[in-house]
Structure 1
Amino acid sequence: MGWIVTLLVGGLIGWIASRIMNTDAQQGIIANVLVGIIGSALGRWFFGDVIGIGAAESAGSFSLVGLAFGVLGAVILIALLKVVGVFR
């Protein structure tokens, strides 16, 4: 059951981030899920461990704060992928 929730929340986070970064037309469902899951991990690491924001530990969880930090991490990931040339 945990994997299903992870996929659903990752897809939601990836979809929101792709809408913010205008890459929704280039991403499919699988890309949204991957960007959401990896972006949540990136958000947890960057905002929680590097910057030291304690609430960032909930990144990727199904709460408002968790979704916010997950989306921020996914936006950073999409920006990095745009620099590399994966997205235009």
Structure 2
Amino acid sequence: MSFIWSLIIGGLIGWAAGAITGKGVPFGIIGNIIAGFIGANLGTFLLGSWGPSLGGFAILPALLGAIILVLIVSAILRAVKS
């Protein structure tokens, strides 16, 4: 059950990062979940594990990491398209 909870929280973090930046993540909900998981790991690596925790993720570092990831992915996709 905790794995499902982690998927839900990861998806919400990825969705929130896309909404904050105004840039969508490719592949819909699967992309949001992947962005949430990778962003959580990136944020925890860069900022540590502080703040409230939910579903195994420290929410603030995970959200900041996901925002960074979404911006990097959108810049790469924009460069590839042009």
- Pair in the same fold by TM > 0.5: yes
State, as a whole percentage, how many aligned pairs show the same letter.
34
Residues 56-77 of structure 1, C-alpha deviation per residue, up to 9 Å, x if partnerless?
Answer: 7x7xx418x9212111000000
Which segments of 5 or more consecutive residues in structure 1 lack a partner in the other structure?
49-53
Distance 1:15 1:32 in 2: 5
TM-score, normalised on structure 1? 0.74
Matched with 1:29 is: 29
Number of equivalenced pairs: 79
Q: Relative to 1, partners in 2 of residues 1:27 and 1:17: Cα closer, same or farther, differing over 3 Å? A: farther
Residues 28-81 of structure 1, C-alpha deviation per residue, up to 9 Å, x if partnerless?
Answer: 111111100110000000112xxxxx527x7xx418x92121110000001111
Distance 2:12 2:26 in 1: 16
CA contact (8 A) 1:18 1:27 kept: no
Point out 4+ residue stretches in structure 1 off by more than 6 angstroms: none
Are 1:80 and 2:72 counterparts?
yes
Distance 1:25 1:37 in 2: 13
TM-score, normalised on structure 2? 0.78
- Bigger strand share: 2
